[in-house]
Amino acid sequence: AQSVTQLGSHVSVSEGALVLLRCNYSSSVPPYLFWYVQYPNQGLQLLLKYTSAATLVKGINGFEAEFKKSETSFHLTKPSAHMSDAAEYFCAVWRNDYKLSFGAGTTVTVRA
């Protein structure tokens, strides 16, 4: 069954520094992968998704993720963190029973 694992429940970065959030997937078939962001007291918003068209996926707010089959990874990055990036980030994989399986989430704090 398809699943994802997010490494690190909490990441703290300085404003302007690189943001790197790690996600590894487990899937016996080519996966469809997603990153969602959840700001405080809000629902989830899609950042980007991978559907096998291109391995480097660009999303909103300057985020991007690279699909690496050899490493079974789909890590999320942003070159320069902004205070507004403070939120919880979820990696998810599309399951073949029409559901999304989410990781446990990574909370990002940004230091001034």
DSSP 86-105: -EEEEEEEE-TTS-EEE---
Question: Which is closer to another protein, CB of 53 or CB of 112?
Answer: 53
Candidate ranges 17-25, 39-47, 64-72, 75-83; the one touching another protein (CB under 8 A): 39-47
Asked if 97 touches another protein (CB under 8 A), the answer is yes
* Local structure of 3: helix, strand or coil: strand
CB atoms within 10 A of CB 18: 11
Q: Which residues bind another protein (CB under 8 A)?
A: 32, 34, 36, 41-46, 49, 51, 90, 94, 97-105
